[in-house]
């Protein structure tokens, strides 16, 4: 087989890129290790920046998102026994949207299938060959049969555990990582959200977040030790812990019910450099991970896709390789800023096991400064709604 761009990974990054390329008449084939149902069952991100919304619209898949997504003009921060609000629209003129990653992925799959775009599921043993030459190719097996696709470029959109990043030799690759000493226990429940807006809470018992997917679907998280197992947490224990960490008026009106999903995610900051090696480009979680505080995971994947899509368009439609050559540098400049924001927000809102009294005072002072300073709120809002591409 031959195509112009092989996309390894059928998560949001890979699907979005394939759909954007299709709109510009550039051919691609997506290789996904799992089944479509498996990819759709992963409950992950919930908050989309304008940049991501615009890309979805540009890819021709924004209609359901615009009809069903919830526009959020601000967020609540609860700490030190009080709650204050940061108004994104007042500070930056820009809101964010609540629309789940599951829905994003579903819309992208539907559009790709409707357009007759090729997605190969259940691929095994993907190997990227000759990425440093002008004629790369990718091999893989499905049901034991080996396949080969020759191509011009390979987009590595295969997440943190994929093969693309590891294709870049160790001698070329630098990795930067920070592991946080806690995780997030998250639940999904078919109950109305406790508030119209998100509540980020720093409590003496640890961080908690009240989020949502729609008017009858809530997403809640509590910080937990890395040694905890999901099975140790009954629904009753989760609701009890959440109520103890959020403001009293929210706890009093919280509607609880059976959870329909429960999982623990570790928190990590990670960046690999460079994000390009010859004709192989890394996008999204294949290249970087942020701790979830601040909802930057999916949104940073989107900015990579924006840069790569424009670079490929320039290559094929305008005959310029400026975008291709500058991809890694351009993408990383924005990624590091999102890494900084996620790291800052994680430090601001969590309780660390080795936190001294001095550290706690610093955290309280930072929160008080954020509450009282217009400038600090503008900085927070500017980052939360997404830095420009
Ligand atoms: P992925 O979604 O990981 O997709 C990669 C795809 O590649 C997968 O479908 C995988 O099956 C496939 N793949 C992997 N290896 C291969 C291979 N060798 N061959 C073929 N295919 C392969 N972000 C937020 O903003 N908010 C959140 O609340 C949030 N929660 C999260 C919870 C968890 C448990 C995790 C893991 C992430 C969370 N994120 C969150 C981050 C966000 O979901 C990711 O940033 C986003 O999914 C990145 O998309 P991606 O397409 O780059 O990678
Ligand atoms: C969600 C996750 C986040 O990490 C965040 O900062 C906001 C919302 C969510 O899953 O809804």
Q: What is the pLDDT of residues 283-339, one digit of tens each?
A: 999 999 999 999 999 999 999 999 999 999 999 999 999 999 999 999 999 999 999
Question: How far is the first Cα of the chain from the last one, in angstroms, to the nearest whole number?
Answer: 34
CA-atom Rg of the chain in angstroms: 21
Structure tokens at 50: 């304008």
Q: Which of 51, 162, 199, 40 is nearest to 112 (CA)?
A: 40
Question: φ and ψ at 185, to 5 degrees?
Answer: -95, 120
Q: What's the confidence (pLDDT) of residue 43?
A: 87
Give dist(CA 333, CA 273) in Å, integer.
Answer: 11
Give dist(CA 69, CA 224) in Å, integer.
Answer: 29
Q: With a cut of 50, which residues of the chain have pLDDT below it?
A: none
Q: What's the confidence (pLDDT) of residue 308?
A: 98
CB-side neighbour CA atoms (13 Å) of 251: 14
For ligand 2, residues with CB inside 6 Å are 45-47, 198, 209, 211, 219, 292-295
Give dist(CA 51, CA 55) in Å, integer.
Answer: 6
Q: What strands lie across the sheet with 145-150, from one edge to the other?
A: 124-129, 137-142, 145-150
Give dist(CA 166, CA 149) in Å, integer.
Answer: 19
User: Cα 214–216–294 angle (5° rounding)?
Assistant: 40
**269 CA → ligand 1 middle, Å:** 14
Q: What is the pLDDT of residues 258-280, one digit of tens each?
A: 999 999 999 999 999 999 999 99
> Could you tell me if 295 and 211 are in contact, meaning their C-beta atoms sit under 8 angstroms apart?
no
Strands (E) across 130-258 are located at 137-142, 145-150, 153-156, 174-189, 199-203, 206-214, 217-224
- Residue 318 class from Cβ within 10 Å (0-12 exposed, 13-18 middle, 19+ buried)? exposed
Looking at ligand 2, which residue's alpha carbon is closest to its atom 9? 46
For ligand 1, residues with CB inside 6 Å are 8-14, 31-34, 39, 44-46, 101, 123, 126, 157-159, 161-163, 265, 284-285, 292, 295-298, 301
**158 CA → ligand 1 middle, Å:** 8
> Could you tell me if 55 and 16 are in contact, meaning their C-beta atoms sit under 8 angstroms apart?
yes
Give dist(CA 273, CA 242) in Å, integer.
Answer: 38
* Helix ranges restricted to H, the chain: 12-23, 36-40, 50-58, 63-68, 88-92, 101-114, 164-167, 235-245, 248-253, 297-313, 322-349, 357-372, 374-384
Cβ atoms within 10 Å of 387's Cβ, excluding its own: 16
């Amino acid at each position: 087989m031959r195509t112009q761009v092989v996309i390894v990974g059928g998560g949001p990054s890979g699907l979005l890129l394939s759909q954007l390329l299709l709109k510009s008449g550039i051919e691609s084939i997506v290789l996904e290790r799992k089944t479509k149902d498996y990819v759709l069952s992963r409950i992950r991100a919930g908050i989309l920046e304008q940049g991501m919304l615009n890309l979805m619209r540009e890819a021709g898949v924004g209609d359901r998102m615009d009809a069903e997504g919830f526009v959020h003009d601000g967020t609540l921060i609860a700490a030190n026994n009080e709650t204050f609000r940061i108004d994104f629209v007042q500070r930056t003129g820009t809101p964010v949207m609540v629309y789940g990653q599951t829905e994003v992925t579903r819309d992208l799959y539907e559009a790709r299938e409707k357009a007759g775009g090729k997605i190969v599921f259940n691929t095994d043993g993907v190997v990227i060959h000759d990425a440093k030459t002008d004629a790369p190719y990718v091999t893989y097996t499905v049901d034991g049969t080996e396949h080969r696709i020759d191509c011009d470029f390979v987009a590595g959109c295969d997440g943190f555990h994929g093969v693309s990043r590891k294709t870049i030799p160790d001698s070329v690759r630098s990795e930067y990582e920070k592991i946080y000493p806690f995780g997030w226990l998250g639940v999904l429940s078919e109950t109305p959200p406790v508030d119209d807006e998100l509540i980020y809470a720093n409590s003496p018992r640890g961080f908690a977040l009240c989020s949502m997917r729609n008017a009858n679907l809530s997403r809640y998280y509590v910080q937990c030790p890395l040694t905890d197992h999901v099975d140790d947490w009954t629904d009753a224990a989760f609701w009890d812990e959440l109520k103890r960490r959020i403001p009293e008026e929210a706890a009093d009106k919280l509607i609880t019910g059976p959870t329909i999903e429960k999982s623990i995610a570790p928190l990590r900051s990670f960046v690999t450099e460079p994000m390009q090696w010859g004709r192989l480009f890394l996008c999204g979680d294949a290249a970087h991970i942020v701790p979830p505080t601040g909802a930057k995971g999916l949104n940073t994947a989107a900015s990579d896709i924006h840069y790569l899509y424009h670079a490929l368009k320039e290559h094929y439609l305008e005959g310029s390789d400026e975008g291709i050559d500058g991809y890694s540098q351009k993408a990383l400049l924005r990624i590091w800023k999102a890494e900084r924001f996620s790291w800052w927000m994680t430090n601001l809102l969590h309780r660390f096991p080795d936190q001294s009294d001095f550290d706690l005072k610093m955290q309280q002072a930072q929160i008080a400064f954020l509450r009282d300073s217009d400038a600090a709120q503008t900085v927070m809002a500017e980052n939360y709604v997404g830095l420009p591409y």
